[in-house]
Amino acid sequence: MPSEQRVAVITGGARGIGLGIARELQREGWRLVLNGVRDESAVADALDELAALGPRPHYVAADVGTDAGRQAIITQTMGACGRIDALVNNAGITSPGRKDILEADEESFDRVLATNLKGPFFLTQLAACEMIRQHAGDAGFRGKVVFISSISGEFVSTNRGDYSITKAALAMVTKLWAARLAEDGIDVYEVSPGVIRSDMTTGVEANYDRLIADGLTLERRWGEPADVGKAVAMLLRGDLPYATGQTLHIDGGMRVRRM
């Protein structure tokens, strides 16, 4: 049954940073639609955890890198909730095999770009059309779109060239959509995390433990999914007005240059 409760769609929302965002929004009373590529049975623990904090999220198993997957996310969201108030483009994959760019292959490159760049660009297009219709019927409606990028959009990793390219490109994607959607009452932001503890960083924990201890970040600790979640929740609440198109760096001071 469609609801007037605020609805947030989070891609990649059942693990890592996406789950950290979902936890914060669930506590604040959002109706959640989570997307991932795994079957719903594989994310049951995450859904059960969130259901203990509020209404059980609606889950859409779909590949955001495909047109059919993106259509499924929007169609199911509108069918289950009747509206979209916020879209958090969080889903992403790292570079398969972390190959040196001299050995990178086109198949992996295309896969990373489809998930990390084409997916959020065109999912935003679909969600924005729904938000524009909502704004036309309610002048007080203010939609939100957030792109989750990465420190890797600025710090070079030659064994993850495709991943770095997609995250750098999201900075421009944010500005493009902010410029296009401002007249329709839709705010667009980029949130750029630093080193965040998640399943994506599991295999490199020892390396980052050393780097952080040696001063990689001003705050000598790992970032946690909750750090990103709190930033996104703040944006969706509207606590940062007059700032569409801006980037929040959630990185413990990693970008601060020192002498």
Q: Which residues are catalytic?
A: 163
Segment holding 124, helix H or strand E: helix 119-137
What is the rounded CA–CA span in Å between residue 69 and residue 55? 24
DSSP SS3 for 247: strand
Q: Answer for the pair 8, 31: CB distance below 8 angstroms, yes or no.
A: yes
Q: Answer for the pair 170, 120: CB distance below 8 angstroms, yes or no.
A: yes
CA dihedral sign, ordered 13, 19, 23, 25: negative
In this structure, what is the dihedral angle of CA atoms 239, 241, 245, 247, given to the nearest 10 degrees? -40
Cross-strand pairs, 31: 7
Q: What are the DSSP E strand ranges found in 198-251? A: 247-250
Q: Answer for the pair 146, 232: CB distance below 8 angstroms, yes or no.
A: yes
Q: Answer for the pair 13, 31: CB distance below 8 angstroms, yes or no.
A: no
What is the rounded CA–CA span in Å between residue 157 and residue 243? 30
What is the rounded CA–CA span in Å between residue 67 and residue 55? 29
- What single-letter amino acid sits at 48? D
